A and B are shown apart, each in its own frame.
Chain A
Amino acid sequence: MRYVVRKTLYLIPVLIAVSFFTFLLLDLLPGGPEVAILGASASEENRAEVREELNLDRPLPVRYVEWVGNAATGDLGNSFITKQAVTSQIGERLGNTMFLLIYAQFLALAVGIPLGILAAQRPGGWTDRLASGSAFAFLAVPSFVLAYVLSYLFGYQLEWFPTLFKADARLWSLFLPAVSLAAAEAAVYLRILRSDMVSTLQEDYIAMAKAKGLSRSRILMRHAFRPSTFTLVTIAGLNMARLIGGAFVIERIFSINGIGRLAIDSVLKRDYLVVQGVVLVVAVGYVLFNLAIDILYAYLDPRIRHARALA
């Protein structure tokens, strides 16, 4: 428990840094919001007027504190262009993206873990070669390519799955996007779990478990699996970033109304506040997810739990 509290406290400086750089990033871009709103040909006076209206004339730290303060209460301002509240725009779409990410992550683990265990049982055997070989193939294919192939084959030709997102049948319509995202992840998970498992199976405590006369499946699941998942869990957390990046593209292909599409659209329209909001939400989400991973990690490995508690 203390470990969780400590980890959470560590988050505070991280979140401050993340939000500050998010804020700074957009402030540093050439051609501020006033240009986006008024167009390049607007006069200097008009621009100054707009800047004042948007409170852009005040010093940066003041604006930052104000922005963070508002963000904490759930107000990320209103879009310059659509005049809609940024939070509500994100809120509408966040669910879809989250659904897609978790769906993909789940599929990747559901495929990667059993295959990894299977491959590790006999390194160099035919299951191992088959699994590791196909893993390489999937790793080499970019997710958007796979997305088009799947969408053509199973969506257009076979008509098993819809090619476009349907809000009322998310599980169904997000299957192909999730698979496209998950394929490469599953391959990574498979290979990581396989190699960790192979080395775990060499450990003395596995020989000891064997000498106790335990069954093969019990040794694999109770003794070998958990100590082999440390790297896998860490990588799964870090992979969220890749998945989010992938989701931005996949959301366009399947026209999923998610955060990624919102971000791309806002970037193109220079809708600064929206972009800022999206980046903030994604960054915070990523940090929180990795906090969850850290906690899971401690659950899996008692040594971490105690080492940190003592420190």
Chain B
Amino acid sequence: MNADDAVPEPHDVPEPHDVDDAVGDRTDGDADVDDSSVPLLAVDDLKTAFRTERGTVRAVDGVTFNLERGHTLGVVGESGSGKTVLSRSIMGLLPTHNIVRSGSVRFEGVEMTGLKASELRQFWGPQMAMVFQDPMTSLNPVLRIGKQITESLRTHLDVSRSYADETAVNLLRSVGIPEPERRMKEYPHQLSGGMRQRVTIAVALACGPKLLFADEPTTALDVTVQAQILDLLDEQQRERYMAMILVTHDLGVVAGRADEIAVMYAGRVVERAPTRTLFSELRMPYTEALVRSIPRLANRSHTRLPRDRRTTTRPRLASSRMSVRAAVRLRTGPLPRGGATASDRRCAGSRVPLLVSGRYARRGRRAGAQPSRGRYGRRGGLNGRERDSAPPQRRRATPARRESRCRVSRRAVGTHRARRVRCEPRRARGRDARARG
């Protein structure tokens, strides 16, 4: 998509792009936007932060990319990495209070960030639309399906009721709903999950948007239905020459469908590359970890995913198993730069945010490593580290240890220099050990 992405050499990292700046200059003050050299969507250093009681959480932290008409960008990342907030922030759907948003979002050269709510509404529907994650909750339970499709038509396109109804029936048919006339009069609860997601796609497509956000459109669905929905999105996208931002936590979903993939972690795009390049040359250890966490069809059933602590447990620790306080601290803390190992150096420029490693933090301390290295440098590296360093003396993972919880020590949080994370085994461990011993 982007000119410089053709050269995969330094994998794209979310530093401000010169290319984008150039685009920015060109679009100054042109209202007739049908200039084909202007990308459909240009996001430049977009930041979105939530003000919370415990500090500012940077959910999206300096994201830059361009998206051309008809192309698909896959945004991949774990829960809490900021994928959803990114898509909502681009669209301008987030509430205004307690949110700090900066950077620029240009849609066909029109700057969207400063627009009033009423002006933004003109974009929502005919220009850009969104398919939400959970079709069970994203349709209004008390309104008929027909109504939910036609109302955006009636709002934006100023068409008669009968024309809107006709259009809605055609839409339903095109998204693969049998007996569309009958379904029009039904309520969401009368449809299955897959059907509902088809309906939400029809709702999103109603006004013929140029850009479609698909926010984990298949996460809430049955596996057998997932492929159908993705194919449907694909097909509609090609038919309409629509750009799409496909947000997912599953690399498998975007692998065959996106032109380009952006991997997000902690609000940043840590790696971005054309799909083929991304998979053929895994650069970023975090991406590698994500790739490795895709279950393989060739494996026997009940095969466990490779248990790599730093790839499987660490991201989770950083996002969901830590207390809010700790997570906020981490997100707001200074970002790591540089590092000791080869993989760390590779990622040095990408400013990988803090990841928490109980074991490494502990080991580092014991080994008398310098605190700054031990905490930031090592943590920055993720699983790349494993290959580069001598295999650490692994202790056998006892069940108790597996359950050990990571906590930010209160004392450490208080001090400036340390956002030290300590791994504290459950209380029960001692007892277990004794019982076993």
Contacts and interface: CB of A to CB of B under 8 A. Distances in A.
B130 interface: yes
Interface string B177-198: 0000000000101100000000
Interface string B158-193: 000000000000000000000000000001011000
Given A208-B200, A213-B155, A214-B152, A222 B91 contact: no
A236 B97 CA distance: 34
A214 B121 contact: yes
A207 B132 contact: yes
Interface residues of A, number: 24
Given A205-B137, A303-B189, A306-B189, A211 B91 contact: yes
- Looking at B151, B203, B207, which has the most chain A CB atoms within 10 Å of its CB? B151
A268 to B, nearest CB: 49
Contact of B141 (A213, A215, A216, A303): A303
Interface string B130-141: 101110011111
Given A208-B200, A212-B125, A302 B189 contact: yes
Interface string A170-210: 00000000000000000000000000000000011101111
A215 B121 contact: yes
Nearest to A211: B130
A308 interface: no
B286 interface: no
A204 B196 CA distance: 13
A122 B117 CA distance: 16
Interface string B83-125: 0000000010100010000000000000000000100011111
Contacts of A213: 121-126, 152, 155-156, 207
B57 interface: no
A211 B90 CA distance: 12
Contact of A212 (B134, B142, B151): B151
Given A204-B132, A303-B187, A306-B190, A212 B141 contact: no
A157 B211 CA distance: 66
A302 B129 CA distance: 27
B143 interface: yes
Nearest to B135: A204
A269 interface: no
B25 to A, nearest CB: 30
Nearest to A223: B140
Contacts of A211: 91, 93, 124-125, 129-130, 132, 204
A216 B152 contact: no
Contacts of B126: 213
A226 interface: yes
Nearest to B204: A211
B388 to A, nearest CB: 44
A208 B141 contact: no
A210 B121 CA distance: 8
Contact of B143 (A122, A207, A215, A223): A223
A223 B137 CA distance: 13
A301 interface: yes
A212 B124 contact: yes
A31 interface: no
A213 B155 CA distance: 8
Interface of A: 122, 203-205, 207-216, 218, 222-223, 226-227, 300-303, 306
Closest 5 pairs (CB-CB, A-B): A213-B124, A213-B125, A212-B152, A204-B138, A204-B137
Interface of B: 91, 93, 97, 117, 121-126, 129-130, 132-134, 137-143, 151-152, 155-156, 187, 189-190, 200, 203-204, 206-207
25 contacts: A203-B137, A204-B132, A204-B133, A204-B134, A205-B138, A207-B132, A208-B132, A208-B200, A211-B130, A211-B204, A212-B125, A212-B203, A213-B122, A213-B125, A213-B152, A213-B155, A222-B151, A223-B140, A223-B143, A227-B142, A301-B141, A302-B141, A303-B189, A306-B189, A306-B190
Given A209-B140, A210-B93, A302-B189, 4 more contacts: A204-B133, A212-B151, A212-B155, A213-B121
